Chains A and B, each alone.
Chain A
């Protein structure tokens, strides 16, 4: 309140008497801090976009629109004399396409969510509703600890333990028994050594669980007790209370949490780089295929890209980064739209999912 009042005092009125809040005219420290706090995030987002864009500009010129659809990833010959095309200096035969990386990024994140969402929501309901208070706090602590584990450790575990176990004992079963029809065909084929799309998506899923689960747990505990009791008092079964009252109440929030998790999975770098098989230039064609994502490719390719004397390799990585950022922003916008639709009128109400 005091911020508003102070700014009103200090605000300058022009001849028309209209209220002109003047950022610099506010004198209280809180007003200054809040002005900085509100502008810094906006400036940061715009600055990152601008820097990426300026770095990527030569690559955008050279790679053209084909960058989005091409599956090639060939840095060209660094030792031959550079050539100039479209005014951009580049190693001879250089050709880049982000499509395999983009597809890998989206596929691994979507598969991760398919695993993580039901597990997270289930875990949240059990923690919030079923566990006795003492167990609840223990389970919550572990859930939050899970969120704090460095991603490189998940990556190591995925590469050394989970991948080999799955590829030895689980994947062959699916590969042998999956029918050779659409969708299930994706489960057939060479299961490899455990590095690939499904393993890294599972690792991603585990990393995303604490994000969705802890938010959902908080949402569940925030549902008014009186509303759930009202449903019980009307003769609802426990399942009906969950399905018709609790879940619709929290669905908008769960969507928000899911997108947070999705954004985390899109941008996750280290764990994927370690478990994906780091293959550039091919779109995964089965669920076990080795592949790479934009984020993982940037971290695995940066070293060699820096040896490109023309700079095109690094500029191409910047272009890929720009696309990753665009996808993440798009996911957030889509989430906002979904949340709005589910909670029409900004109240905890909707027709459910």
Chain B
């Protein structure tokens, strides 16, 4: 799994002006990205390429800018007052930070799973179909099939097939999160952003979600913000270490954890910081 992307240069820190051409295998390319709120700069000059069809973990201490970066990829920060960006994020060569970016289509391509399950106040079935309907992706005749297919994908079909019209709030927290995942998958995203997706779940549900991610690559690229180093190590192919708004180090997960190059990375992964 780790070696089918030999062309990806994990150490993006070494990207300089001369080599800033679009890496062919990158689904997401970030160049000279700066993000801030009012006068405060949260992300400082980040350059990176996200390899397609992998799980990428974003780790780093609280306040290092991981989540801000993640929420910038689908432009979810736009509504926050004082938010600004400089530089570029592109999805398969298409600029995302431009004023003309079609936000609805961007969010179809780039889905998101949140810290806590957030089902909508509609039936289980309608939850799965919410995005499909909003984007008019399929005719009505295919809806039942889409519901089944996506619930099966996340392993929830057996548990809920008899109560598709019931409230999702009666499901357990883990089941709700799987439902939200099914909802995201139903619109066939290319990238899925996960913001500490298992932080509110019990260990068994955590395992279920983690196994799912491994099962769903390489069709989908996952970018996971996590505070659990063990989880980053278990599920990710690549790890990016954020520190103080900078991307300190990036590379194959095993290398980051066994042979970190920067002292801050060493410090963080050994559990002495964060």
Contacts and interface: CB of A to CB of B under 8 A. Distances in A.
A235 B169 contact: no
B236 interface: no
A232 B170 contact: no
A124 to B, nearest CB: 18
A345 B171 CA distance: 12
B151 interface: no
Would you call the interface of chain A mostly helix, strand, loop, or mixed?
helix
Given A226-B114, A229-B114, A232-B76, A349 B104 contact: no
Given A240-B134, A244-B130, A226 B107 contact: no
Contacts of B180: 230
A176 to B, nearest CB: 46
Interface in B61-111: 74, 76, 103-108, 111
A249 interface: yes
A309 to B, nearest CB: 62
A229 to B, nearest CB: 6
Interface residues of A, number: 25
A237 B118 contact: no
B187 A349 contact: no
Contact of B107 (A224, A232, A345): A232
B214 to A, nearest CB: 23
Interface string A337-349: 0000000110111
Contact of A234 (B116, B123, B131, B169): B131
Question: Which residue, B119, B120, B183, has most C-beta atoms of chain A within 10 A?
Answer: B120
Contacts of B104: 235-237
A349 B118 contact: no
A233 interface: yes
A347 B135 contact: no
Q: How large is the interface on B (under 10, 10 to 19, 20 to 34, 35 or more residues)?
A: 20 to 34
B131 A348 contact: no
B183 A347 contact: no
Given A235-B134, A235-B135, A248-B122, A230 B170 contact: no
B167 interface: yes
B121 interface: yes
B131 A347 contact: no
A256 interface: no
A271 to B, nearest CB: 37
A171 B120 CA distance: 45
A233 B194 CA distance: 11
A156 interface: no
Contacts of B220: none
B74 A233 contact: yes
Contacts of B119: 227
A245 B134 CA distance: 12
A350 interface: yes
Nearest to B193: A233
B168 interface: yes
A351 interface: yes
B115 interface: yes
A325 B173 CA distance: 45
A224 B134 contact: no
Contacts of A234: 107, 111-112, 130-131, 134, 183-184, 187
B121 A235 contact: no
Contact of B169 (A226, A345, A351): A345
Contacts of A244: 120, 122, 130
Nearest to A228: B118
A226 B121 contact: no
A349 B126 CA distance: 12
Contacts of A236: 104, 130, 134
Nearest to A227: B118
A201 B120 CA distance: 37
21 contacts: A226-B114, A227-B121, A230-B112, A230-B118, A233-B74, A233-B111, A233-B114, A233-B193, A234-B130, A234-B134, A234-B184, A235-B105, A235-B135, A236-B130, A344-B167, A345-B167, A345-B169, A347-B167, A349-B167, A350-B121, A351-B123
Given A232-B76, A248-B122, 5 more contacts: A226-B114, A234-B184, A235-B103, A344-B167, A351-B123
Interface of A: 224, 226-227, 229-237, 240, 244-245, 248-249, 344-345, 347-352
Interface of B: 74, 76, 103-108, 111-112, 114-116, 118-123, 130-131, 134-135, 167-170, 180, 183-184, 187, 193
